[in-house]
Structure 1
């Protein structure tokens, strides 16, 4: 059984559509995969890879009781062919290249969701069948399958003209042409600067084929390794011979910088993100502008394709989160750990997560310091066991340990 049969156990490939689903904008709802040129350029691929690599570290979590078993599936192996990191990486890559990414559920024979798969079809059409909207896919192998629109997750970028799909990356074409031209110029410049050594002027008018023969003869006699004398001797056939100073070819730095900035602006990134040399603040800016919007859209798309409106109303949802403190400085991590731990906002395992350390036994308990006093009680004598309302608590008292069930105990 191949990938197609695993994903579409009961494919509706033989439906007879009643026509394209009518859109408000009058566009024919047809999606076609983008050419691979945007992914074949070094700079654009680096920008796409950097984004997808960051997204692959998102953690899927399920709230609510419906499909709770999917949480571990999403966290480890969303489908038989991909782990979670590959799954997220592929969605982010497809989205960056095509500006439209499709996610379909993998179901068992009873229609129960067992996983998810990101599709990369050659063509997708929104058709109408028995009064419902279907997405009909055509793959490179020639196989076709259709699935109800509401059961598919569609993540988009630059969605403007189309009601369903994102726009193409045509706006980047001028920059792509500049990259191609610049690369060709560099190659030709290096070749020319490395190959031309002498300039010779022939005294008489001769045929083109004779010029070729004379150039070859002069090179063999004077420029080959057999010439050990260090002298160049030529006859009256040549009026003048000059040696050309070979200078290394240098790239126009301003042009290259402008091209890079165009790509960085389009993909919302910069050199430091691509080279993994960013600071804490630079990572936070990239996360806010690029990673978090993707996580929010993916969470909404997968929640809506998995749950019914009633299940969503009861708190069922799929969310993708990230440890934003992973790239924080040690000083920031230490400050957050100490400040939030003794206020009961973080438990020990939460602190371990900040420092990328393994959880510890009993690490789910929360601790609160007990030496705090109300402002209106400052200056008043406070007894360790005072029970009057508004009284302070001595710093000599032990901390309060709060279990997950809300109960407290002295520690």
Structure 2
């Protein structure tokens, strides 16, 4: 019978023993403990839509394993690249993996990705970890990260095996600042506003007023008639909104005037949330122009991709491998968001100068590659800048000698005279 294993065991393994005899790290100016407070703000529809706009675009980043050799960049089709591009771990494809990293980056301002290795130090997978709290400890293998999960389990991993991305990195020596202090006030205001709108709608759909009796009746009879009137006409079941009385009573309506926030004020509050996360309503609603997208890419996505590339490079490769130029880069095809006119102009310019292959140009328009399309072509109107003067003086092999005149003297190019 096959042994049942928990999700914790499937990630960390049954026989994996984390470092023992750990003692908490001593920081210079802060606590070595990080508490995750991200869940509350993610319940807001404004926050969730804003974070999703960032995460779904980060999910389209393409990691590449390259080697910088002698000033040149060589792409390397390694197993690490395949893993990062397709299936970082057995539970997530690449899009979902980077989507989750981006979400954790904005919601918790700290991202922890544990690099699982086998006994031979070969990488088996990358696992983003979300825990109730994280603290740094000293172990026999150096500084380590202790994760305490919501079910009470914990795991200690060497810090060298944990990709750690940070945002709002200020007071704490190792962790990004939490969102609670800065984000909670505006989220509370939005929540109260939404509740006020809901209550105003309910109030406007119901009758409110005073029932005046024209004659003298007992208190018990008055209360009974009042209750009967309320049950019949002042409840949500009174769809028509009309009440009927006889000559014994007169109904005097009390008009309610609920104060509702206007669209401009509501938009201002949502913009504060968007600004906090480095975006705007056009990006969230996918209603951006080419220049607006480029601004968002350069300010948010590109900076996140840069941090990921630096951290993944350092945690994946040894010092020796990095010394041989091994590096992880995250890139995106920004031209996908350009207009067709812009795409055509860029392709014409780059292909003419040999900076883009035919297949790369086809990729911009989401067209399939063609045979021999990786070749680079160049217009004959351009030459090597270092050899431009040699062409002018006729010293390059195969070039025509400047014309000669009688007497064996060359034509004077300065004034046209001999």
Is the Cα contact below 8 Å between 1:137 and 1:144 reproduced in 2?
yes
1:117 aligns with 2:127: yes
Distance in 1 (alpha carbons) for counterparts of 2:351 and 2:263: 50
Match of 1:194 among 198, 202, 205: 205
Higher mean C-alpha displacement, 127-136 vs 159-168: 127-136
> Hey, what does 1:15 align to over in structure 2?
20
Per-residue CA deviations over 1:160-183 (Å, capped at 9, x if unaligned) read 111111111021111011011111
Is the 1:127–1:133 Cα contact (8 Å) retained in structure 2? Answer: yes
Alignment correspondent of 2:316: 306
Write out aligned runs for 1:327-406 (5 A).
Answer: 327-372=337-382, 387-388=399-400
Mapped contact 2:133–2:147 kept (Cα < 8 A): yes
C-alpha distance in 2 between matches for 1:300 and 1:15: 29
Aligned residues between the structures: 380
Q: Which moved more, 1:184-193 or 1:241-250?
A: 241-250
Q: What is the CA–CA distance in structure 1 between the aligned matches of 2:212 and 2:42, rounded to whole Å?
A: 48
When the two chains are superposed, the root-mean-square deviation of aligned CA atoms in Å is: 3.4
Structure 1 partner of 2:411: none
Q: Residue 79 of structure 2 corresponds to which residue in structure 1?
A: 69
Q: Which of 283, 298, 304 is the matching residue for 1:273?
A: 283
Aligned residue number for residue 408 of structure 1: none
For the residue of structure 2 that corresponds to 1:195, the secondary structure is coil
Give the Å deviation of 1:141. 2.4
Cα 1:32–1:206 shift into 2, 3 Å: farther
Q: Deviations over 1:261-280 (max 9, x none)?
A: 21011011111111111110
Match of 1:146?
Answer: 156
Q: Paired residue for 1:234, among 217, 236, 246?
A: 246
The answer to whether the Cα contact below 8 Å between 1:194 and 1:246 also exists between their aligned partners in 2 is: no
CA contact (8 A) 2:55 2:99 kept: yes
- Structure 1 CA distance, aligned partners of 2:100 and 2:237? 55
C-alpha distance after superposition, 1:253-305 (max 9, x if no partner):
23212211210110111111111111100000000111111101111111111
The reply on whether 1:179 has 2:190 as its aligned counterpart is yes
> What TM-score does the superposition give when structure 2 sets the normalisation length?
0.81
* Displacement of 1:314: 1.6
Q: Residues 35 and 349 from structure 1, CA distance in 2 versus in 1: closer, same or farther, beyond 3 angstroms?
A: closer
Q: 1:247 to 1:173 in 2, by over 3 A?
A: closer
Q: 1:207 to 1:301 in 2, by over 3 A?
A: farther
1:222 CA drift (Å):
11
Per the TM alignment, residue 224 of structure 1 is displaced from its structure 2 partner at its CA by: 12
Return the alpha-carbon distance in structure 2 between the equivalents of residues 223 and 101 of structure 1.
Answer: 51
Q: Is the 8 A contact 1:132 1:148 kept in 2?
A: yes
Distance (Å, rounded) in 1 between the aligned partners of 2:323 and 2:213: 89
Deviation at 1:236, TM superposition (A): 4.1
Q: Distance in 1 between matches of 2:109 and 2:57?
A: 18
Cα gap change, 1:218 to 1:67, in 2 (>3 Å): closer
Q: Take 2:100 and 2:210, find their aligned partners in 1: how far apart are those partners?
A: 54
Give unpaired runs (5+ residues) of structure 1: 392-411
Q: 1:222 to 1:369 in 2, by over 3 A?
A: closer
1:366 is paired with a residue whose SS is coil
Residue number in structure 2 paired with 1:54: 57
Q: Deviations over 1:130-182 (max 9, x none)?
A: 37111111112222111111221110111111111111102111101101111
Q: Contact 1:102–1:154 at 8 Å: present in 2 too?
A: yes
| Partner Cα separation in structure 1 for residue 401 and residue 218 of structure 2 | 114
Match status 1:106 vs 2:116: yes
The separation in 2 between residues aligned to 1:295 and 1:341, in whole angstroms, is: 27
> What CA distance in whole angstroms lies between the structure 2 residues aligned with 1:372 and 1:35?
55
Q: Shift of the alpha carbon at 1:243?
A: 4.8
Where 1:165 maps in the other structure, the secondary structure is coil
Q: Secondary structure, in 3 states, of the residue corresponding to 2:359?
A: helix
Counterparts of 1:223 and 1:300 in 2: how far apart (Å)? 63
Gaps of 5+ in 2: 68-74, 404-418
Deviations 1:34-57 (A, max 9, x none): 151110000000001111001000
Aligned partner of 2:28 in structure 1 is 24
Normalized against structure 1, the TM-score is what? Answer: 0.83
Contact 1:101-1:156 at 8 Å conserved across structures: yes
Sort the Cα spacing of 1:219 and 1:81 in 2 relative to 1 into closer, same or farther, 3 A: closer
Residue 200 of structure 1, CA deviation:
3.6
